[in-house]
Amino acid sequence: MKTKSILTEMAPYKPGKQIEDVKKEYNLEKIVKLASNENPFGFSEEVKRKLPALLDQLEFYPDGYAREIREAVASFYNVDENQLIFGNGSDEIVQILCRAFLEKGTNTIMATPTFPQYKHNALIEGAEAREIPLTEDGHHDIEAMLQEIDESTRVLWLCSPNNPTGVLLDQETVDDIIERTPEHVLIVMDEAYFEYADTAKRYPSIEAVQQHNNIVVLRTFSKAYGLAGLRIGYGIADARLVAAMEPAREPFNTSVIAQKAAVIALDDQHFLTQTVAETQQNKKDFMKFCDDAGLRYDQSEANFLLIHLPISGDEMFEYLLTKGFIVRSGEALGLPNSIRLTIGSKEDMQSVQYYMKEKLMQEG
């Protein structure tokens, strides 16, 4: 048997360590996972309370049109229903975009490091991935990215806040990109961490979608809404653009449970506000710790920090693992001598500070 030849050169996604595995391996009681930017405050209590009563008729396929959540999101953002496309996580929207726009002979432009699924899916579709290194301080190198555009370019990926740096694209920069990107190029703005960003600094991306027919905005229920386990995210774009993508979407790609939970979660903005406020406070406290310890970090508008270390990220990662904290080593993300740390509860952040300091002292 033979797969597509590109698959022989690719590795499957390597997830962060699983809680149960670490418990066993290190014989620990409590494990704190700060590796995948999940929400340490869980998810809306309303979802927990209301969802079980709604779970009947699971013998039927879900509504392929996802009407209830579609109506809820459309009204939340004041966009038309036909401007939305739902996916099994925004991950799947990335896959759909690649299926719909990329093929052999085309190319796509992205930062590096950034969310790895853009490149991964682009390569499977046979496209060329043009990766432009981030600047020293973790920003997209816009000039270099725009330079790479040619007539075979189909998609330009902007990840804002960027994973793994947390850096937000500022408003003038995005305006400039949109103005200078030719119309044959689709601009994808992946805003998985949008809800965490300072409201004054956020780019008005929905307005941009209403004014341009070559922009897709990606959002998700996985991060601030805390529903990563259910897998639901969405894209917002010009209605014609959505219609053009739709044939590349599987008919029943979001589950009944995910659709119903997302409606309840969207309605509970109180939970969202709490989550964001606590995360921002804990992030601020942790940045203060880094400042005091002389550790540099990228300016993050997300629920994680990329922290630069005087030792290898792998070493810090291994050490924290023995203490029951799972973080992401920068080595694995293409940023040596750093770790990416999801912002957790106050108590957990204090413990992780303690152990980081301990490790750094040992190293002298």
Using CB under 6 A as the criterion, which residues of the chain lie in contact with ligand PLP when the complex forms? 37, 89-91, 115, 159, 163, 190, 192, 220, 222, 228, 233
Work out how close the CB of 15 gets to ligand PLP at its nearest, in angstroms, rounded to a whole number: 12
Work out how close the CB of 38 gets to ligand PLP at its nearest, in angstroms, rounded to a whole number: 9
Q: Which is nearer to ligand PLP, 113 or 324 (CB)?
A: 113
Work out how close the CB of 161 gets to ligand PLP at its nearest, in angstroms, rounded to a whole number: 8
Distance (Å, whole) CA 155 – CA 145? 11
Q: Which is nearer to ligand PLP, 233 or 324 (CB)?
A: 233
Pairing of strands 304-308, 328-329: unpaired
Q: Which is nearer to ligand PLP, 266 or 360 (CB)?
A: 266
Q: Which is nearer to ligand PLP, 107 or 163 (CB)?
A: 163
Q: Which is nearer to ligand PLP, 91 or 195 (CB)?
A: 91
Work out how close the CB of 164 gets to ligand PLP at its nearest, in angstroms, rounded to a whole number: 8
Q: Which is nearer to ligand PLP, 275 or 351 (CB)?
A: 275
Residue 124: phi and psi, rounded to 5, are -60, -35
Distance (Å, whole) CA 225 – CA 193? 10
Residue 246: phi and psi, rounded to 5, are -50, -40
Helix (H) or strand (E) holding 155: strand 153-159
Minimal CB distance to ligand PLP: which residue? Answer: 89
Work out how close the CB of 300 gets to ligand PLP at its nearest, in angstroms, rounded to a whole number: 12
Work out how close the CB of 363 gets to ligand PLP at its nearest, in angstroms, rounded to a whole number: 30
Which residue, chain included where needed, has tokens 């956020």?
202
Helix (H) or strand (E) holding 342: strand 338-342
Work out how close the CB of 219 gets to ligand PLP at its nearest, in angstroms, rounded to a whole number: 8
Helix (H) or strand (E) holding 307: strand 304-308
**Which 3 state secondary structure label does DSSP give 196?**
helix
What number of helices (H) and strands (E) belong to the chain?
A: 14, 12
Q: Which is nearer to ligand PLP, 134 or 319 (CB)?
A: 134
